[in-house]
Amino acid sequence: MAFWEEKSLEQMSPTEWEALCDGCGRCCLIKLEDEDSGTLITSDVRCKLLDGDTCACTNYPRRQEIVPDCIKLTPENVRDIPWIPTTCAYRRLAEGKGLAWWHPLVSGDPQTVVDAGVSAKGRTFLETEVDPEQWEEHAVDWPEWEPPESL
């Protein structure tokens, strides 16, 4: 039995916890909040540390120092963060859903995240290259898109 099937999020080692990240990059997209309704809107503008081609953080160990509003996902906060994508392994496991077929721990291939359409790879703009006044124009709905149960 795989570790994610026999352990709760709180029981996982730091290495197991980190392995749950599918590398989609969706959590590193700039989110906007509608001041009137409180609705969260995701944009296709990515954090300055996210590599748009690999969806990897370019300075993961120091990310919170460099980007003070970067939120480190933990077993304690993952259930309370409203913007975590429905496809996220942390969220799926917290909701009792298990990992999706395209997750690299299931498929054995990180490319399945891209093939399933879950990845932000190649679909984003770097935050330092987009005027913050224009972020609203970059609102997208694809970060909440979920692939079918199989392709």
Task: Identify the pLDDT of residue 151.
Answer: 55
Q: Does 83 reside within a domain? A: yes
Query: Model confidence over 104-140: pLDDT tens digits?
Result: 999 999 999 999 999 999 999 999 999 999 999 999 9
Tokens 């259930």 — which residue?
A: 79
- What's the rounded mean pLDDT across residues 19-31? 95
Q: Does 120 reside within a domain? A: yes
Q: How many domains does the chain have?
A: 1
Q: Does 90 reside within a domain? A: yes
Task: Identify the pLDDT of residue 147.
Answer: 76
CA–CA separation, 83 vs 63, rounded Å? Answer: 19
What residues make up the domain containing 96?
A: 3-141
Query: Model confidence over 37-89: pLDDT tens digits?
Result: 988 889 999 999 999 999 999 999 999 999 999 999 999 999 999 889 989 99
Q: Does 147 reside within a domain? A: no
Helix (H) or strand (E) holding 92: helix 89-94
Residue 25, both tokens: 């990059």
Task: Identify the pLDDT of residue 38.
Answer: 86
